[in-house]
Amino acid sequence: MEYLFKSILCLLVLLLFHRLVLQQEVLHRFNRFFLLAAIIGSFLIPLVTIEMEREIAVQSITSAFYPAELISFESSIPNESAITPISKAESAPAMLTIPWSKLGWTIYLLGVAFFLIRFIRNISLIYDQIRKNDRVMYRQEMLVLLPESVSPFSFLKYIFYSKSAFEKEGIPDAVFLHEQCHVREKHTLDIVLVELLLIIFWFHPGLYLARQAIRLNHEFIADDQVIKQFSFREYQTILLSVLSSQQGFALGSSFNFPLTKKRFEMMNKSSKPGIKFLKLASLVVFLGVVVAIFADKVAVNAVAQETEVTDKVQSTTSNSDLVKTYSQLYGKFQLKAFANRQFSIPPDQEIEALRVESNALDQLYTQMSPEEREKVKRVSFPYAKLEVAGKVTYKRFEDLTQKERESLGC
């Protein structure tokens, strides 16, 4: 869930930068690839791992964290004796519980099914038009002539146009150049990519905004191609003449989508090279900030980087060094366990390493004589955990009676 939230927010931030900075300049082809990269990058950036160094100040390892059991893995499991049983008379009445997890998955799968059916239907409608209607090769492009009056649009290698209008006066050069640009630059693939993502991530608001931005940018690219050969006024008149036509199909690149003041402003706009350079330079800085914000952070110093305990256990040959080695390694083990709790290190990165060190310490402990074990307990475990009459108490090791020591296996 955290990953999805980061991904959604990341894409929204990238689209905001595009809207406020990049879309204002004549960078249409660059913007096309930026928008596609923003969609893909929003799913990848939260997976990037950045290692963060943190210093942990600890004055004393043995006395500061007593009792020792409180920082062991066992302390995360509640003690049954500390839990007060609740009688049936005191227990709360049974309440109807809503299976939120199942309900959520049901809603999600219904959404996936709806968008999948919608996508298949839109594709089927277009291919039905291709299969049922006349197709002609016109100036190296494939025209599909439709019986009804629709706004010209394109899909993959096909340009769709009204049959009656084509038979009367052909297709205007400006309209043909516009749709030919969509076909040759394969704009349909961009739209299909977003539609496929929407089947899985239909709840993703950024994808809807990205789809709109991509389609509008396609129109900017096609308009820019046309006004290189036609005057702005002449092309504007042609756009207005097709405004009354019906809209094309959902997945097509339509000639009059969307006919807004923004398109007219962009056709008549020019950008200064210096401004373009500054905005592209700011993009580099902005992307660095986005990665730093949305990437996953890991505290390097809190993660076990070496199998120090295991190596030292294997290299320890003299029993006279066992007590000293064990005390030093146990202190470091306590410190890592404390760091793990303080900084919420992910289990797959820290707990397994601590478990390996714990096993190595147990192996070292079995090599000691009874006298050495008692000395280790005095140094490493200043307090012992006892259960007396169902109550948990802690007692200094040196104050334990012989019977208490035996009960603890000392």
Quick: pLDDT tens for 110-153: 999 999 999 999 999 999 999 999 899 998 899 999 988 888 88
Q: Report yes or no on 377 lying in a domain.
A: yes
Q: Report yes or no on 393 lying in a domain.
A: yes
User: Residue 379 above 60 pLDDT?
Assistant: no
3-state helix, strand, coil in the chain (%, to 5): 60, 10, 30
Give the residues across from 150 on adjacent strands: 246
- Return the pLDDT at 367: 72
C-alpha torsion sign, points 319, 324, 329, 330: positive
CB-based burial label for 87 (10 Å; 0-12, 13-18, 19+): exposed
Q: Report yes or no on 175 lying in a domain.
A: no
Q: Report yes or no on 333 lying in a domain.
A: yes
- Cα gap 197→39, rounded to integer Å: 10
Q: Report yes or no on 149 lying in a domain.
A: no
Residues 6+ apart with CB under 8 A from 31: 18, 22, 23, 217, 220
Q: Report yes or no on 93 lying in a domain.
A: no
Confidence of residue 289 (pLDDT cuts 50, 70, 90): very high
Quick: pLDDT tens for 244-278: 555 555 565 555 555 567 777 788 777 788 888 89
Q: Report yes or no on 174 lying in a domain.
A: no
Quick: pLDDT tens for 74-93: 444 444 444 445 444 455 55
Q: Report yes or no on 382 lying in a domain.
A: yes
Q: How many domains does the chain have?
A: 1
**pTM of the predicted protein model:** 0.62
Residue range of the domain that includes 403: 305-407
| Residues 307, 363 contacting (CB under 8 angstroms) | no
Torsion of CA 135, 137, 140, 146, to 10 degrees: -40
